[in-house]
Structure 1
Amino acid sequence: MIRVGVDFGGTKIEAAVLDGEGGFLSRRRVATPPGYEAAIEAVCELVAQVEAEAGGGGGPVGVGGPGSVSPATGLLRNSNSTMLNGRPLPADLETALGRPVRYANDANCLALSEAADGAGVGADPLFAVIVGTGCGGGLAAGGRLVSGANAIAGEWGHTPLPWSTADEHPGPACWCGRRGCLETWLCGPAFSRDHREATGRTLAPTDIAEAARAGDPGAVASMARYVDRLARGLAMVCNIVDPEAIVLGGGVSNIPELYERLPAAIAPYVFTDRWAARIAPARWGDSSGVRGAAWLWDAAG
């Protein structure tokens, strides 16, 4: 049995075909074209290409992307790729591909992929985090997705930064219309913004980390603020779902110091006398999303 998955991202679209054991038979990616119709066409072209390379296909397709489908309207909502909001994306993909499509939030796909055969194997529950151009989360329990009654389980990125200090309140404006959401503190552009506001220099998150390793005082301070904010956000999740493992994906997850420093930074905020959880980068990196999408027809929750 082969499985087809699509990772529909704001900057790239990736399609892949997996074999029954989860190995890649084929995979391709392209930059996400501007415009809704052009992006749908790109998905169709990629699926046709990877199926031709894999020598089979034609079955249902799993798609991971930003936002989630409203159970009330069937339209996409809560996407930081705002061109998708209010669109019947899964239905339009089904029409264009001529086959059934199952859609899930990209962080849910990360959670499913890493629970199936990644850094979170055996963890119950598993919380997966995307800290990249946005900030999302997904929850898996018993190897299956937990999507929730309203299909918003895991959406920690649009909860406020907990235990905020006076200078953090009310927080930056968020595209969702509120202020101080975790996304405005923890996504990659937010990390860069915080460093720029403190030092006057614009650096990518991984460059801030590199400068901190070299002993740059401004970068050291920026890293400390980021780790503390990420720890506070994750501690809130730990107080609610108490995950056995936390898996990080997205560009910021490529900073190794996070895994060294987060356990000690999270523990003081968790409502317990002793706290432990596995914290690891996604085993499959930026291909976890497409892998999780391919598994959607097997492990939907």
Structure 2
Amino acid sequence: MNLRFGIDLGGTKTEAIALGPDGREMARLRVPTPKGSYEGTVATIKDLVEGLDARLGAKGSVGIGIPGTISPRTGLIKNANSTWLIGKPLDRDLEAALGRPVRLANDADCFALSEASDGAGAGFATVFGVILGTGVGGGIVVHGRLLAGPNSIAGEWGHNPLPWPMDHERPGPACYCGRSGCIETFLSGPDLARDHGEGWTAEQVAASGHPSAQAALERYEHRLARALAAVINVMDPHVVVLGGGLSKLERLYRTVPALWSGFVFSDHVDTMLRPPLHGDSSGVRGAAWLWPPQ
């Protein structure tokens, strides 16, 4: 049986899924992520994969979504929020532990691949998948294949400056990358909460009808529209699929396309903005899709 296993290595949980030849989910496991421990991370992934092997009575291919990427120069992990992975040969260590090849990709790339394969972007030639959560990430899929450049950073729109900034948006909040005014510092969940005021979460802002919360959401929508317009001007995707916690804001799918028209260099914008079909499962499904059906 042609089984594909996907692993989503998150900050708090690590999830595993098994997909059958037709893309149907056959099993799922979830355990806490061993924060701060590289050896613990390798052991956790090994246990999950072997658990799927045992449950299904067959070995599957293994794809893993990580909060970072492999440096083409060194072969080691870089740009990882889970800092204990940085500088480690994670793919090689996992292949040794599992006794089979593995494929690793950024978690936003996995989200984009999932939605392009059998989700909200299925059937479209070009898909830009967006993560709007604790951070802001992105992935690009062209004709069903992830776009990968020489630096392994394709789709990292979150660390570009916010386009067309207003005076009160300059120079912008400090970003962990060392710069100020990155898109991520305006569009992440924590930064939506920060923009509203202390003591609130992004979920509370989104659910509140208070005028101050509504004003914060309107600022958020305008910033998201400008940021996505810049992406459309560069890659002209057929569809943009939103993921992450803030993708659940239904109003975004009405307001943002109406706003981005003023910034896209075209007389008309046919790019669609869609919610994810697979929701929170897209990352782990996309990791499995790193090995296409045979």
Could you state the TM-score of these two structures normalised by the residue count of structure 2? Answer: 0.95
Structure 1 residue 180 corresponds to structure 2 residue 152: no
Q: Percent of pairs identical after alignment? A: 53
Work out which of the residue numbers 197, 203, 208 in structure 1 matches 2:205: 208
Which residue pairs with 1:47 in the alignment? Answer: 49
Structure 1 position 149, deviation (Å): 2.6
Structure 1 position 81, deviation (Å): 2.2
Which residue pairs with 1:15 in the alignment? Answer: 16
Structure 1 position 66, deviation (Å): 1.2
Q: Distance in 2 between matches of 1:92 and 1:133?
A: 28
Higher deviation after alignment, 76-85 or 273-282? 76-85
Question: Can you list the C-alpha shifts for 1:148-192, whole angstroms capped at 9, x where unaligned?
Answer: 232211110111111111221111111111111111111111111
What count of residue pairs does the alignment treat as equivalent?
Answer: 291
Q: Distance in 1 between matches of 2:135 and 2:95?
A: 26
Q: Which runs of 5+ in 1 are unaligned?
A: none
Contact 1:16 1:27 in 2 (8 A): yes
Contact 2:6 2:289 in 1 (8 A): yes
Q: Distance in 2 between matches of 1:84 and 1:178?
A: 22
Amino acid corresponding to residue 289 of structure 1 in structure 2:
G
Q: Distance in 1 between matches of 2:75 and 2:136?
A: 23
3-state DSSP class of the match of 1:268?
coil
3-state DSSP class of the match of 1:231?
helix
Which residue pairs with 2:89 in the alignment? Answer: 88
Which residue pairs with 2:223 in the alignment? Answer: 229
Q: Distance in 1 between matches of 2:190 and 2:93?
A: 31
Structure 1 position 203, deviation (Å): 2.4
Which residue pairs with 1:137 in the alignment? Answer: 138
Q: Distance in 2 between matches of 1:51 and 1:207?
A: 41
Work out which of the residue numbers 278, 282, 292 in structure 1 matches 2:286: 292
3-state DSSP class of the match of 2:15?
strand
Amino acid corresponding to residue 161 of structure 1 in structure 2:
L
Structure 1 runs (4+) greater than 3 angstroms displaced: none
Contact 2:3 2:61 in 1 (8 A): no
3-state DSSP class of the match of 1:263?
helix
Which residue pairs with 2:246 in the alignment? Answer: 252
Q: Distance in 2 between matches of 1:244 and 1:260?
A: 17
Q: Distance in 1 between matches of 2:98 and 2:176?
A: 31
Higher deviation after alignment, 73-82 or 238-247? 73-82
3-state DSSP class of the match of 2:261?
helix
Structure 1 position 295, deviation (Å): 1.2
Which residue pairs with 2:168 in the alignment? Answer: 167
Structure 1 residue 60 corresponds to structure 2 residue 57: no
Q: Distance in 1 between matches of 2:245 and 2:82?
A: 17
3-state DSSP class of the match of 1:286?
helix
Work out which of the residue numbers 205, 213, 219 in structure 2 matches 1:219: 213
Structure 1 position 7, deviation (Å): 0.7
Structure 1 position 72, deviation (Å): 0.6
Q: Distance in 2 between matches of 1:53 and 1:176?
A: 42
Question: Can you list the C-alpha shifts for 1:191-210, whole angstroms capped at 9, x where unaligned?
Answer: 111111xxx4x222232111
Which residue pairs with 1:121 in the alignment? Answer: 122
Q: Distance in 2 between matches of 1:11 and 1:229?
A: 29
Q: Which runs of 5+ in 2 are unaligned?
A: none
Structure 1 position 104, deviation (Å): 0.6
Amino acid corresponding to residue 207 of structure 1 in structure 2:
Q
Contact 1:206 1:254 in 2 (8 A): no
Contact 1:263 1:276 in 2 (8 A): no
3-state DSSP class of the match of 1:287?
helix
Amino acid corresponding to residue 99 of structure 1 in structure 2:
R
Which residue pairs with 2:113 in the alignment? Answer: 112
RMSD across aligned positions (CA)? 1.3
Could you state the TM-score of these two structures normalised by the residue count of structure 1? Answer: 0.93
Which residue pairs with 2:39 in the alignment? Answer: 37
Amino acid corresponding to residue 112 of structure 2 in structure 1:
A
Q: Distance in 1 between matches of 2:254 and 2:55?
A: 41
Q: Distance in 2 between matches of 1:191 and 1:162?
A: 17
